């Protein structure tokens, strides 16, 4: 096992990784920008290294500075967290070329899943159901037209290098196809330097359901059930829950087994998430994430498995201690992403936190690097904490969520806490009756 790990991230996820390391007897090296010298992840780590000025491009994305920090501190492994360099195949390669372990999948698997076309082909060949569409990229309108006719309109044009909703265009009818392709391709070229696009049948009101997997380097793979992440605004998730209110135990077991076999066939290692759209009882693969995700705690709460500990263990070459039969899903968990943002406009609200009180009690977890007196810098994303509640049933979890939200105090900056209190009053949410468009429709109504 490693005895020192460098955590190449900041905020709550840097702290989350530190906590797992501490419990495993592993020392931690924090890296930080000049803006984060007083951050909690720096204070708690055994050692820290300043890696550059405030903008992420000069610090948290500064590969030479991070590698140097690992070398001078004698770290043996690098945990990338989420965001920043976590899905950068080149970074994974550079880490390993310096004799360090990358706590994540191989660079080849990151690259395979980073290209949405190669990802779709790989999982389809491994038996995962995908959205009907083109087999690979479509270069011209002439190539696309017969494919669109066959799958039926509306169709969605997606960028091969996209993800997170960037570079997507809907074509409602045949006469819109040419222009939609040109716009999507031009946007993709500008954003990713790759104008390759592909076609899919457009699904109107699906749910976003993702399956968590965990794989070691000895051929063992388990799935840890699903998370329902349908409640999103502009491709930013606000609330996630596990299990999904939409799935039966039989549906869960069936898709879980399909995914488990596929991930084994692909030879994947580490944690990963297979994202699906789910409509009318059918799963359609859209993307695979090759990192630990923001919403991983809801899975931890219902399985009792520490996903960061498992990531570290498999990166050190250890075999999984559990098999699929050992995994029991217990109760219900909901996560609210608490951002320092105006709750109506979502405008960022950085600044000094004058008061802070964390909610607690049975079944309440707060993953946050916040403290009273901390100044939230304006340079990074506005997530200041994740409130995760766990209960025996969804009803109990919703009651506990309200109670915990009411207990939480953050003064000095605006937060998204009021949104969740309002959401708990909404019948569709309480009934679990929502899809990927629901939240934006609800917010539009609410804000008049
Ligand atoms: C789709 C889709 C409808 N049909 N694909 C958005 C980001 C990227 N991960 C894939 N996305 C979508 N792909 C087909 N064939 C709708 C979306 C989508 C979406 C997906 C998940 C969660 C929220 C979303 C919000 C808008 C669009």
Domain boundaries, the chain: 4-87, 132-201, 207-446
Sign, CA dihedral 361-364-366-372, equals negative
- Same CATH topology for 4-87 and 207-446? no
CATH superfamily assigned to domain 207-446: ATP-grasp fold, B domain (3.30.470.20)
Mean pLDDT score, 230-249: 98
SS3 74: coil
Model confidence at 165, pLDDT cuts 50, 70, 90, reads: confident
Model confidence at 200, pLDDT cuts 50, 70, 90, reads: very high
Residue 235 CA to ligand 1 centre (angstroms): 8
Whether residue 287 has its Cβ less than 6 Å from ligand 1: yes
Does the predicted TM-score (pTM) go above 0.85? Answer: yes
Q: What percent of the chain has pLDDT over 70?
A: 100
Measured in degrees and rounded to the nearest 5, phi and psi for residue 369 equal -105, 15
How confident is the model over 81-126, as pLDDT tens digits?
999 999 999 999 999 999 999 999 999 999 999 999 999 999 999 9
CA dist 93 and 235 (Å) reads 29
How confident is the model over 285-306, as pLDDT tens digits?
999 999 999 999 999 999 999 9
Q: For residue 330, how many other CB atoms are within 10 A of its CB?
A: 11
CA dist 279 and 208 (Å) reads 9
Residue 210 CA to ligand 1 centre (angstroms): 12
pLDDT recorded at residue 448: 77
Mean pLDDT score, 44-58: 98
For domain 4-87, which CATH number applies: 3.40.50.300, 1.20.120.1200, 3.30.40.10, 3.40.50.20?
Answer: 3.40.50.20
DSSP 124-172: HHTT--B-SB-SS---SHHHHHHHHHHH-SSEEEEETT-BTTBT-EEE-
Q: What is the mean pLDDT of the chain?
A: 97
Q: Classify strands 101-102 and 155-159 as parallel, antiparallel or unpaired.
A: unpaired
Whether residue 28 has its Cβ less than 6 Å from ligand 1: no
Report yes or no: 209 and 298 within 8 Å, Cβ to Cβ. no
How confident is the model over 311-364, as pLDDT tens digits?
999 999 999 999 999 999 999 999 999 999 999 999 999 999 999 999 999 999
Ligand 1 atom with least separation from CA of 202: 4
pLDDT recorded at residue 207: 98
Model confidence at 447, pLDDT cuts 50, 70, 90, reads: confident
Model confidence at 167, pLDDT cuts 50, 70, 90, reads: confident
Q: For residue 252, how many other CB atoms are within 10 A of its CB?
A: 18
Model confidence at 134, pLDDT cuts 50, 70, 90, reads: very high
Model confidence at 211, pLDDT cuts 50, 70, 90, reads: very high
Model confidence at 163, pLDDT cuts 50, 70, 90, reads: confident
CA dist 17 and 6 (Å) reads 10
CA dist 351 and 196 (Å) reads 41
Whether residue 165 has its Cβ less than 6 Å from ligand 1: yes
Q: What fold characterizes domain 132-201? A: Dna Ligase; domain 1 (3.30.1490)
Report yes or no: 318 and 217 within 8 Å, Cβ to Cβ. no
The verdict on whether 337 is a catalytic residue reads no
* Residue with the two structure tokens 């569409």: 133
Report yes or no: 401 and 420 within 8 Å, Cβ to Cβ. yes
What is the rounded (10 degree) CA torsion for 141, 191, 7, 296?
Answer: -50
Distance of CA 275 to the CA centre of its chain: 10
Residue 165 CA to ligand 1 centre (angstroms): 6
């Amino acid at each position: 096992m490693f005895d020192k790990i460098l955590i190449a991230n900041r905020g709550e996820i840097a702290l989350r990784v530190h906590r797992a390391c501490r419990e495993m007897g592993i020392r931690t090296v924090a890296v930080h920008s000049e803006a984060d010298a007083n951050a909690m992840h720096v204070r708690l780590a055994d050692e820290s290294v300043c890696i550059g000025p405030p903008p992420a491009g000069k610090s948290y994305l500064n590969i030479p500075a991070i590698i140097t920090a690992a070398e001078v501190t004698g770290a043996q492994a690098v945990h990338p967290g989420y965001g920043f360099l976590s899905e950068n195949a080149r970074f994974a390669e550079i880490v390993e070329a310096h004799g360090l372990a990358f706590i994540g999948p191989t660079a080849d698997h990151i690259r395979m899943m980073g290209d949405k076309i190669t990802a779709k082909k790989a999982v389809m060949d491994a038996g995962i159901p995908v959205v009907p569409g083109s087999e690979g990229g479509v270069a011209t309108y002439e190539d696309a037209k017969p494919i669109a006719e066959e799958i039926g309109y509306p169709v969605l044009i997606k960028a091969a290098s996209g993800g997170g909703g960037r570079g997507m265009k809907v074509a409602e009818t045949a006469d819109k196809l040419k222009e939609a392709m040109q716009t999507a391709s031009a946007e993709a070229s500008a954003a990713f330097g790759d104008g390759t696009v592909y076609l899919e049948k457009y699904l109107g009101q699906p749910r976003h359901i993702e399956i968590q997997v965990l794989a070691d380097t000895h051929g063992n793979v388990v799935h840890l059930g699903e998370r329902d992440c349908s409640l999103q605004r502009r491709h930013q998730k606000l609330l996630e829950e596990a299990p999904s209110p939409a799935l039966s135990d039989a549906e869960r077991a069936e898709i879980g087994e399909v995914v488990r076999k596929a991930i084994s066939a692909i030879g994947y290692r580490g944690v990963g998430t297979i994202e699906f759209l789910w409509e009318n009882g059918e799963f359609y693969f859209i993307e695979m994430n090759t990192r630990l995700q923001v919403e991983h705690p809801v899975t931890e709460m219902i399985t009792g498995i520490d996903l960061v500990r498992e990531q570290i263990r498999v990166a050190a070459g250890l075999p999984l201690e559990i098999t699929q039969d050992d995994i029991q899903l217990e109760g219900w968990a909901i996560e609210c992403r608490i951002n320092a943002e105006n709750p109506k406009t979502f405008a960022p609200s950085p600044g000094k936190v004058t008061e802070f009180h964390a909610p607690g009690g049975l079944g309440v977890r707060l993953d946050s690097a916040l403290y009273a007196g901390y100044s939230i810098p304006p340079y990074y994303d506005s997530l200041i904490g994740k409130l995760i509640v766990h209960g025996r049933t969804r009803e109990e979890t919703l009651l506990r969520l309200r109670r915990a939200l009411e207990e939480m105090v953050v003064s000095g900056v605006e937060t998204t806490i009021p949104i969740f209190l309002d959401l708990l009053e909404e019948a569709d949410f309480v009934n679990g009756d929502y899809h990927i468009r629901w939240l934006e429709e609800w917010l539009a109504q609410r804000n008049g």
